[in-house]
Amino acid sequence: MAKLVKFKLDGKDVEAPEGQLVIDAADKEGVEIPRYCYHPGLGNPGVCRLCVCEVAGAPKPQMSCRTTVKEGLVVSTNSPAAKRAQAASLEFHLANHPLDCPVCDRAGECELQDYYQGYGLYKSTVREDKRHKEKRKSIGPTVVLDQERCIQCTRCTRFLDNVTKTSEMGIFGRGDRSVVDVYPGMEVDNAYSGNIVDICPVGALTDKDFRFSVRVWYLDRAPSVCTGCARGCAIEVHTNTERPWHTEGRRVARLKPRFNPEVNGWWMCDEGRYSYKSADSDTRLKASSRLGQDGAPVETSPADAAKGIAAELTRLVAERGAQGLAFVLSGTLSNEDLFAAKALIAKLGVPAANVALAPGPEQLGEADDLLRRAEKVPNLEGARALGFDTARPLTELSPDRFWGVWAVDRAVPAGWDKLPFTVWQGPNAVRFTGAARWVLAAAHCFEEDATAANFQGRLQRLRQAVPPLGDSQPDWAWFGSVLRALGGEFPHQDAASIFAALTAEEPAFRGLAFELPDEGVLLAASQPAGAAA
């Protein structure tokens, strides 16, 4: 830890560690300095010259992203000289920028637009014609490049050089002829390509998936957590609910990474980024059903389904015993869901050995050393902390031993569907759904308030972005309503109340509040695996 030194920032006495960048120290003090090239995750090449400020004693304006804090430094970010230097820099950035904001997807969240309002030179002195470069160039499966709009901040090239280390892009040419482009024969097709769109301060890089679908100022934002893998990247869910015709009725328009220094930094992978479509896909279950006499599914209300399942369970458990019932749970369940499931399993008296929770083959995938984890489920650690055995795979259970199975959000292999009692619960119809006796529509992860613990044991909050579709309800509501119909105790009506009970009963969650901080909380050391559920 560097020693703290005192310096003056805009006439105010400020303390910061020696050697810290002035721009970082200013950010901490809430003093906004405009910047394009500087990104805390990508370093400070000092190419945009926009973050200039006046430093006492220096003959010329200094870049705040290249100046370090030292004792007695006097920095002014808003003096007339600093303002003039910033406006002059911005004038250069706009010299060749096409100003095609009406057709630019970035309009509304563009840093060029924002800074022009705050720091612009409203009377440009540039009289020359703008230089024309290539527009609408596809540089990969996810990204479109517009060279005219680029201001050569080099954030994208530095991201590809330093973060993904794939180096597909570079700056070519000199002066006003310089362009950003992909190297010949290459395309930006790495697993993190979507991030270069997020970090681009202007509209030079746009997302093919999002392009022209909806204007950014129509979007509502909810901070949540990606459920694509065990990393649990902090994300923002952007939803378009007021003008559904733009996204063809899809409510979730896109996902953006949210800064969490402990989990994902500034980034997220493409797999997670484009996984949002499952929330509004055709496979979403909007109503629950049971198999009728003729083998065709009959739609049922949630209350009737809970009652019907409870009646069948009561009869079968009395006739054939609770050890004949298997629970195939999934790491996609939140802690609140698992808490309710645990209560239901305890009420029925199902032995812990009948619960399979290890990720199935369809829940395993590619991993790398940047963000992606092999287990494509978000809450395995939470399940472990709640006392579930997260290592027992479904293949360890043989359908011959059982009379019934309750599967959640998992593909279940053949053999299980022949049992007299089958429940399949989940947001999207996957295999087994067609043949299950009861199909319960569950809410999608963007539709519920919940908590999930990632592979580090870091507990994060998921926040509801859109209401549950149709008759679907959160998984805990299904477990809870069946539990209530069986005569059990389940007084909770929302996730906050379940979490309160969870913190009271589970040692790993003791003392936590449902409103978790943005970066999450590390769970207390979890119980040894394999404890009775």
Distance CA 442, CA 431 (A): 15
For another protein, which is the closer residue by CB, 135 or 315? 135
Rounded least distance, CB 182 to another protein, Å: 18
68 binds another protein (CB under 8 A): no
243 binds another protein (CB under 8 A): yes
What 3 state SS string does 123-187 have? CCCCCCCCCCCCCCEECCCCEEECCCCCCCCCHHHHHHHHHCCCCCEEEECCHHHCEEEECCCCC
Supply the DSSP symbol for 475. Answer: H
Q: For residue 320, give every residue at least 6 positions away whose Cβ sits within 8 Å of its Cβ, in sequence order, or none.
A: 403
221 binds another protein (CB under 8 A): no
Rounded least distance, CB 512 to another protein, Å: 30
Residue of 4, 56, 103, 513 that binds another protein (CB under 8 A): 103
Q: Which stretch binds another protein (CB under 8 A): 13-21, 239-247, 333-341, 381-389?
A: 239-247
212 binds another protein (CB under 8 A): yes
> What's the angle, vertex CA 489, arms to CA 484 and CA 492, rounded to 5?
85
Structure tokens belonging to residue 157: 């090239």
Query: What are the Cα distances from residue 516, in Å, to 36, 338, 445, 509?
Result: 32, 19, 17, 12
Q: For residue 179, give every residue at least 6 positions away whose Cβ sits within 8 Å of its Cβ, in sequence order, or none.
A: 133, 134, 147, 150, 171, 172, 173
Rounded least distance, CB 186 to another protein, Å: 22
Residue of 8, 246, 284, 307 that binds another protein (CB under 8 A): 246
Distance CA 277, CA 327 (A): 28
213 binds another protein (CB under 8 A): yes
Residue of 57, 102, 184, 517 that binds another protein (CB under 8 A): 102
Q: Which helix (H) or strand (E) holds 327?
A: strand 325-328
Structure tokens belonging to residue 277: 């479509």
For another protein, which is the closer residue by CB, 164 or 240? 240
Q: Which stretch binds another protein (CB under 8 A): 64-72, 173-181, 206-214, 233-241?
A: 206-214
> What's the angle, vertex CA 404, arms to CA 402 and CA 405, rounded to 5?
105
Q: Which stretch binds another protein (CB under 8 A): 39-47, 187-195, 207-215, 470-478?
A: 207-215
Residue of 6, 70, 136, 510 that binds another protein (CB under 8 A): 136
Rounded least distance, CB 102 to another protein, Å: 4
Give the contact letters, 334-363, x = binds to another protein (CB under 8 A), - = no.
------------------------------
Q: Tell how far CA 111 is from the center of its chain.
A: 23
Q: Which stretch binds another protein (CB under 8 A): 48-56, 94-102, 363-371, 464-472?
A: 94-102
Least Cα distance to 313 among 475, 483, 441, 474 occurs for 483
Q: Which stretch binds another protein (CB under 8 A): 205-213, 267-275, 433-441, 520-528?
A: 205-213
Q: Tell how far CA 280 is from the center of its chain.
A: 16
For another protein, which is the closer residue by CB, 133 or 373? 133
185 binds another protein (CB under 8 A): no
Residues 107-126 touching another protein, rule: CB under 8 A, are 107
How many CB atoms within 10 Å of residue 287? 17
What is the crossing angle of helices 495-505 and 335-348, to 10°?
A: 70
| Side-chain-facing half-sphere of 78: CA atoms under 13 Å | 10
Residue of 57, 184, 245, 515 that binds another protein (CB under 8 A): 245
For another protein, which is the closer residue by CB, 101 or 411? 101
Structure tokens belonging to residue 294: 């003729």
For another protein, which is the closer residue by CB, 107 or 353? 107
For residues 426 and 409, the answer to whether their CB atoms sit within 8 Å is: yes
For another protein, which is the closer residue by CB, 148 or 448? 148
Rounded least distance, CB 101 to another protein, Å: 8
For another protein, which is the closer residue by CB, 105 or 168? 105
Residue of 6, 70, 135, 418 that binds another protein (CB under 8 A): 135
For another protein, which is the closer residue by CB, 122 or 217? 217
How many residues touch another protein (CB under 8 A)? 16
Rounded least distance, CB 136 to another protein, Å: 5
Distance CA 383, CA 337 (A): 10
For residues 319 and 356, the answer to whether their CB atoms sit within 8 Å is: no
Rounded least distance, CB 208 to another protein, Å: 10
Contact residues for another protein (CB under 8 A)? 100-103, 107, 135-136, 211-213, 215, 217-218, 243, 245-246
